[in-house]
Structure 1
Amino acid sequence: MAFNAMEMEAALYPQPDHRRSIYATVCAILASMSSILVGYNIGVMSGAATFIQEDMKISNVQLEILMGILSIYSLLGSAVTGRTSDWIGRRLTIVLSGCFFFSGGVLMGFAKNYASMMVGRFITAIGVGYTIVIVPIYTAEISPASSRGFLSSFPEIFINIGILLGYVSNYIFAKLPDHLGWRFMLGIAAIPAAFFAIGVLAIPESPRWLVLQGRLADAMKVLEKTSDTRDEAISRLDEIKRAVGIPDDMHGDIIEVPKNKSHGKGVWKELLVNPTPAVRHVLVACLGVHFFQQASGIDAIVLYSPTIFSRAGMKSKHDQLLTTVSVGVVKTVFIIVGTCFVDRFGRRALLLVSMGGMFLSLVTLGSCLSVIEEQPSKQVGWAIKLSVTTVMVYVATFSIGAGPVTWVYCAEIFPVRLRAQGASIGVMLNRVTSGIVSMSFLSLSHTITTSGTFQLFAILSLMAWFFFFTVLPETRGKPLEEMETLFGSITSREKTIVAGKDIDRR
């Protein structure tokens, strides 16, 4: 009888096949590796900027534009990613981004003047725009609900690995002659770009895109490989079919999908012109999370770390670059920590903890810099050390929440019919905000002082905390096709509690 009971339990509650989860993880890793190039092209400019300015004899304003223009240029890639990925698929869109990274790296490495450098930066930025939209979408769509938060954090992990590699590249190639060092820093990115683009061809297409094309049999094959159990694969397919308007009894290799949903037609109207209360709430949540992630000043730290350490009293260029590498190490380590916690503690909780820590560290950093600015002729050793420490605390608290969770949250909350275009809108705002912060930091710190600039970032972080607390429902453990049920009211804490109880019961 005991044996029969065990058999019955196994039939009712099939155990997850770990080979399936490994396959989904490998797919997420291969897709996310292109994000290394995003991080590298951001981080490498922090150290390369000084050498470029000295070699090309450009002004501070030109340097500021060069530093921040990547985010603005990437808007074009972000804007067309939704339609591109609906047309050629998620996988080939990632391959296309790799081609832009390769071309941009070669052009920047061989740039002869400021204009040609900007052309290379523009082409690279198109790849950035494509990557930061499509990779989180792909990983969210390929992942089972049980590990979606973990796997969807991979793009942010690899972005931070890229930032760290950019810092390390600065430190290594800074030893070359000034006119060669920055060329190696920027141009070497073309080599991994070619390998990453080829590697992505080994992964399957997103099952949700396959369903949107009416290729149900192909979608089922992918879902069987990436779901914890076969029953979950069947359930996921049924949910996707319902979401895109395919009858449950429709089967076959290729079917005709309703035209207004097969290639994104009508999506912009549903998103922006006549949204339902739930879709409006989803859009507000996505835009708010993306805006506050960048408005809290992370790119000022990433791009201008050597400058910040210089203004904090650190005189040696060698020490500035080495400390910047330490910033990259801390950022990468804590991104991994945040990734491990995102499915355990939930998205909303990590965002609140993250923004709270960022607010406190920014207030402290601004206060320390104020002391240093008021006593330039004196050695204020404690303030210098505390400034460096608070920068590390800031990037650590950013990395456990606001860094990875932004991409996880915004990739999963949109309905499947709106996901690609909805995510594109969020990323476009993210890039605009990043560009404004990056291109105004030097001017702003000159106008209201560096300490005042970080106090401004602190105020924005506090505003972000209240926004997250008020507007965002928890999405942990919810299937992608059921996300809309959490939204519809700007104050969704009650829905969050109900969703949390559902998760606990499961």
Structure 2
Amino acid sequence: MAEHKPADFHGVSGEPTEAQSPKKHKRNKYALAISALASMTSILLGYDGGVMTGAAIYIKKDLKISDVKVEILAGTLSLYSLIGAAAAGRTSDWVGRRYTILFACAIFFTGALLMGFATNYAFLMVGRFVAGIGVGYALMIPPVYAAEMAPASSRGFLSSFPEIFINVGVLLGYISNYAFSKLPLKLSWRVMLGISAIPSILLAATVLALPESPRWLVMQGRLGDAKKVLDRTSDSPEEAQLRLSEIKQVVGLPENCNDDVVSVPKHSHGEGVWKDLFLHPTPSVCHILIAGLGIHFFQQASGIDAVVIYSPRIYEKVGIKSDSEKLLATIAVGISKTSFIVVATFLLDKVGRRVLLLTSSGGFAASLFGLAIGLTIIDRYDDHKLVWAVALCIAMTLSSVAFFSIGMGPIAWVYSSEIFPLRLRAQGCGMGVAVNRFTSGVLVMTFISLYKAITIGGAFFLFTGIGIVGWVFFYTLLPETQGRTLEEMEASFGSFFRWRTTMKELERKKMEENSVA
């Protein structure tokens, strides 16, 4: 008997077969445009993360708050976004992906105004709470929308747009810090935070021009509208028909159902999702859930936000004391981060998710290790700065964000948005965002206390260790998804869990036979 080899596990044999290999297509300009417009809402999260890097300096001086309150201020937005992310999945299944994005912009607009007009720390925290809910919504929906709009040939490219715009937002936040740092103290940080209300209005206006997701339309029984969208977003009429057939099969509609409006099975509206995700998951869904949540956990637990948000403190440690010089130096971090994310978007559908992810996480861990060594040496010889150690810290800061952006940054969103089955996708992705934001919030809220307890170099040694564990997790549990349609994805997962179930079943039968004997 021929030896059976799992076709979709560990990534070694998980490469697309020749029949599955993506063919070269001219990019669908319509799909590209609408994915870009929807993903631009991610600027809101990136801007808040970037602008808080510098705004915290002036908030601390103006409101005379402690480092602990600075940590809470910087990190709570990520925790508040859990509410938005948790609600976004159900909301998007209810009113659609497009109106959920519009809702996100409206909430963030309100939060930005509250932060801009804050008179004290408590008022500012109210604004952070409202903005955080908006960020949770804005962070969860764009990757889902882009993945559902994109043809398989360019899904990685289009689904990485949210991460591009997060990085653009970070860079804009850094530039805003530097541009408004010369204003009077009481005005500078308020303008930095409040001005983000303007892009939220512009983004809300663009959303009105977007079509609804074809997969959501089919889930509502609106086949005629779904056909129109698929015809415009597919690489060929044949692919459009194939995508529609696959979606109908997943939703539970017969293949010969071609009416413009039909009734759909009750489960297609989102009922029973939590039971299928957590109480009685199939081996494939169990594997998908672990992979989808795990990639978001390690993306944040490995310490990227410590580098991005607290880079001024790193630069202060290496000897840059002026506030304006520290803010100017952070712009270099933003440029490095944004430049490499653009490179990653063009590689995702050519190189594949797995190769980029393993390269990125390995390089990121190595960069954090170098940064930890440099900061430890600077701490030890604090009386006189060693030029090579300073240069090492600056180089490793830029290298870490570059390696992160070329893989871990975009792939977490691309991967989690494409692996969940259709009826579990919105709420599964919402859980991924919740893990992402919770991990980020805890890290940002504890980083200053952590490095005061174990030194700043020790903190980055800790992040290096987490990064190595993350690399092992990615290598072991994340198969390649390049070139597969969203409806084919579930078959790529679950080999390990099915194998364990089979082994347990064989052991149980053997025990029964022995007991009978």
Q: Using structure 2 for the length normalisation, give the TM-score.
A: 0.91
Correspondence list, 1:368-387, <5 A: 368-387=374-393
User: Deviation string for 1:426-481 (max 9, x for gaps)?
Assistant: 11111110011100000000000000000000000000111111101000000000
Aligned to 1:4: none
SS at match of 1:158: helix
**In structure 2, how many angstroms separate the alpha carbons of the residues matched to 1:318 and 1:179?**
17
Q: Deviations over 1:290-328 (max 9, x none)?
A: 000000100111111101111122222222111100000
Q: CA RMSD in A?
A: 1.4
Structure 2 counterparts to residues 107-256 of structure 1, below 5 A: 107-256=114-263
State the match for 1:350 in structure 2: 356
Structure 2 residue aligned with 1:327 = 333
SS of the equivalent of 1:256 reads coil
**Paired letter, 2:56:** A
Partner of 1:405: 411
Asked whether 1:312 is paired with 2:318, we answer yes
Number of the residue aligned with 2:480: 474
Aligned to 2:63: 56
Q: Specify the alignment match of 1:302 in structure 2.
A: 308
Match of 1:269 in 2: 275
Counterpart amino acid of 2:127? G
Distance 1:287 1:89 in 2: 23
Distance 1:166 1:174 in 2: 12
| Equivalent-residue separation in structure 2 for 1:197 and 1:316 (angstroms) | 38
| 8 Å contact kept, 1:27–1:203 | yes
Name the counterpart of 2:505: none
Query: Is the 2:82–2:438 Cα contact (8 Å) retained in structure 1?
Result: yes
Structure ranking higher on relative contact order (CA contacts 8 Å, 6+ apart)? 2
> What are the ranges of 5 or more consecutive residues in structure 1 without an aligned counterpart?
1-14, 493-506
Q: Which amino acid aligns with 2:454?
A: I
Matched, 1:416 2:419: no
Q: How many angstroms does 1:55 deviate by?
A: 0.7
| Distance in 2 of aligned mates of 1:403 and 1:354 | 9
Whole-angstrom distance in 2 between the partners of 1:92 and 1:78: 15
1:432 partner amino acid: F
Report the residue type matching 1:278 in the other structure.
S
The amino acid across from 1:415 in the alignment is: P
Distance 2:267 2:383 in 1: 68
Deviation at 1:16, TM superposition (A): 9.1
Please tell me whether residue 29 in structure 1 is matched to residue 63 in structure 2. no
Is the contact made by 2:24 and 2:153 (CA closer than 8 Å) also made in structure 1? Answer: no
Rounded Cα–Cα distance in structure 2 between residues aligned with 1:182 and 1:481:
47
SS at match of 2:125: helix
Letter in 1 for 2:477: V
- Following superposition, the deviation at residue 17 of structure 1 comes to 8.6
Q: 1:440 aligns with which of 442, 446, 452?
A: 446
CA distance in structure 2 between the partners assigned to 1:17 and 1:431 by the alignment: 35
Q: Deviations over 1:45-83 (max 9, x none)?
A: 000001011111111111110000011000000001111
1:379 and 1:60 map into 2 onto residues whose CA distance is 25
Alpha-carbon distance between aligned partners in 2 of 1:17 and 1:386, rounded to the nearest angstrom: 43
Cα distance in 2 between the residues matched to 1:276 and 1:427: 22
Residues 254 and 16 of structure 1, relative CA distance in 2, 3 Å threshold: farther
- 1-side partners of 2:449 and 2:56: how far apart? 16
Q: Which residue of 2 aligns with 1:483?
A: 489
Distance 2:491 2:336 in 1: 37
SS for the counterpart of 1:33 is helix
* Unpaired stretches in structure 2, ≥5 consecutive residues: 1-22, 499-517
Alignment-derived partner of residue 457 in structure 1: 463
User: Percent of pairs identical after alignment?
Assistant: 56
For these two proteins, the number of residue pairs brought into alignment is 477
Q: Which residue of 1 aligns with 2:14?
A: none
The equivalent of 1:363 in structure 2 is 369
Contact 2:107 2:134 in 1 (8 A): yes
Which of residues 277, 287, 291 is equivalent to 2:293? 287
